[in-house]
Amino acid sequence: MRFRRMKRHLAQAVVALTVAAALSWAAPHAALAQGFAVVPTQTIYPGETVSATQLEEVAVTNPNIAGGYAQSIAEVEGMISKRTLLPGRTIPVASLRPPYAINRGANVRLTFTLGNMTISASGTPLADASVGDVIKVRNLDSGVIVTGTVLADGTVQVMAK
């Protein structure tokens, strides 16, 4: 009878130690998951538009990983890669840029507004530019180079000097 009691206490102690060991291992490893990161599933080359089919979200478990990487596919989709992005590697946000709204040499509409008066002309941008960029544009009628801000509709809002 005494042997059975010792055997039962021993079994309970082994179970308690096993549970304690499992909990002590699981707690720090669960804390390692620090959110998600976006990684390419295939190589993406510079100048290439990033699509959702080329990406996947993975859990971040490395506590030493540097910040500044994309954390959702929506943050990356439609952007242009500035450098080669390798499969399985995080995508630094600094290695992406928005697509250009206007391209160098294309015809664009220049607008200048002063109160109720709006003046419009054709121009040629001297550089590629995204929405919100300030660029120089050559007026096709006069040949004068003016400075303006690129708008979402692809026009350039000319600034007064």
113 shares a domain with 145:
yes
Strand-pair partners of 146: 137
Of 136, 141, 129, the residue nearest 159 (C-alpha):
136
Q: Are 77 and 55 a contacting pair, CB within 8 Å?
A: yes
Instruction: Tell me which amino acid residue 8 is.
Output: R
In a domain, 28, yes or no: no
* Strand extents, DSSP E, the chain: 36-40, 55-59, 80-81, 96-97, 108-114, 117-125, 134-139, 145-150, 156-158
Tell me the whole-structure pTM to 2 decimals: 0.62
Mean residue pLDDT across the chain: 83
In a domain, 12, yes or no: no
Beta strand 108-114 with 156-158: parallel, antiparallel or unpaired?
parallel
Structural domain range at position 62: 36-97
Instruction: Flag whether 2 is in a domain.
Output: no
Question: Which pLDDT value is given to residue 120?
Answer: 95
Q: What is the dihedral of CA 115, 117, 122, 126, to 10 degrees?
A: -20
pLDDT band for 2, please (50, 70, 90 cuts): low
Last residue within a domain, chosen from 65, 97, 129: 97
Q: What is the tally of structural domains in the chain?
A: 2
Pairwise pLDDT comparison (10 vs 127), residue with the higher score: 127
Say if 83 falls within a structural domain: yes
pLDDT at 137: 96
CATH assignment of the domain containing 86: 3.90.1210.10
Residue 1 lies in a domain: no
pLDDT of residue 35: 85
Same domain, 117 and 136: yes
Q: What is the pLDDT of residues 100-153, one digit of tens each?
A: 999 999 999 999 999 899 999 999 999 999 999 999 999 999 999 999 999 999
Instruction: Decide if pLDDT at 21 tops 60.
Output: no
Higher pLDDT, 117 or 65: 117
Q: How far apart are CA 97 and CA 136, in angstroms?
A: 20
Q: How many Cβ atoms sit within 10 Å of the Cβ of residue 39?
A: 20
pLDDT > 50? residue 29: no
- For the ranges 20-29, 84-93, 98-107, the lowest mean pLDDT is seen at 20-29
